[in-house]
Amino acid sequence: MSEIVLGVGASHSTLMNTHWHRVVHTERAEAFRDALDAARRRVALARPDVVVIVGSNHFRGLWLDLVPAFTVGVGEVVAMGEAGTPKGPQRTDPEFARALAADLVEAGTEVAISARLQIDHGQSHAIQYLLGDLGVPVVPLVVNVFARPLPTLARCVQLGENLAEAVRRIAGDRRVVVVASGGLSHRLPWPSDWADPQDDDEAFLVDAWTNGRGEWERYDRRRREIIVAARPTIFPEFDRAFLDDLAGGRLRRYASMTTDELEAVAGNGGQELRTWLVMAAALGFVPGTPLVYAPMPEWLTGMGVAVLDPSEGDQRSASPEPESRLDPLGGDR
């Protein structure tokens, strides 16, 4: 019987690679980088045989011609290598990936499969900073967080729970780490609804998302200019409350939010928090340990890193909750 031995949540941003020299909040940036390194050490200590990376795809491998809610890479996995992230074929475990996808479907989570999946920094940023030179095979699990209609947050929780059950049923004794890549709060300079672009830049991006397969180079320069020119929009109070709920083992409560409600409190980029919910659900929502929170306007994102260790969950769940906290969902806790 295989088992999940660790969960990690980590923000990503290619601007971390390309715009470090423009960072103003240096201490925050260094704290985030150091937290990634601390999380990488935790992954190494967990001695994984395979890492499931739950991440997004920024219209680099999946396009508007076909965007499944959930996609598992079951064969070749090729990283695009944009903005200094890893490039080329990645080490994989096709046998495990195929068994995982089959079991998820049997459990009622109909995932799509890809025998040749192209990933971007939504997955490869985690490979770069959390796996480094560990040489561990990866299984990408791509969640649609950008092309509405999005899978509900409740459906993402169910995916995580079914993921945990599937891992336990897979033959062998693999040690599995689940990594969530994305978030925290941020607003991206693209349409919240691809069918309703509001200006020329948004219309250009929708055109790229629709027609970019096989000819992305002709869109990439202007796309990058649009991203870099964006005005930062971060919601630190929401981010801190989210990490507080992670520490208390309370992330399940976010499953009741709608897509519009999440966008209102965390921005359209905050839809990536679906990946954290998948990971946390796969770990049984055990209380976790936030390693850092760094609001980085230079990178357009509230950057966070957290670790969920099931061997520590029972001890942490016994700790009392603070008497008062910001509640991003409204109402009493």
Cis, peptide link before residue 184, omega less than 30° from 0:
yes
Rounded distance, CA 309 to CA 244, Å?
Answer: 16
- CA atoms within 13 A of residue 258's CA, in its CB half-sphere: 4
Contact 6, 308 (CB under 8 A): yes
Residue type, 218: R
Strand blocks (E) in the chain: 3-10, 50-55, 70-80, 87-89, 112-119, 138-143, 175-181, 289-296, 301-308
Structure tokens at 279: 């990971």
Is 25 designated active site?
no
Rounded distance, CA 146 to CA 169, Å?
Answer: 31
> Looking at 12, 58, 125, 186, which residue is catalytic?
186
Tokens 């769940």 belong to: 317
Query: What DSSP string runs through 88-121?
Result: EE--B-HHHHHHHHHHHHHTT---EEEEEEEE-H
> Looking at 12, 58, 121, 125, which residue is catalytic?
121
Tokens 């992670």 belong to: 246
Q: Which residues contact 320 (CB under 8 A, 6 or more apart)?
A: none
Is 21 designated active site?
no
| C-alpha to C-alpha distances, 179 to 138, 207, 235, 264, nearest whole angstrom | 10, 31, 23, 26
| C-alpha to C-alpha distances, 12 to 4, 100, 220, 247, 249, nearest whole angstrom | 23, 25, 19, 20, 23
Catalytic residues: 121, 186
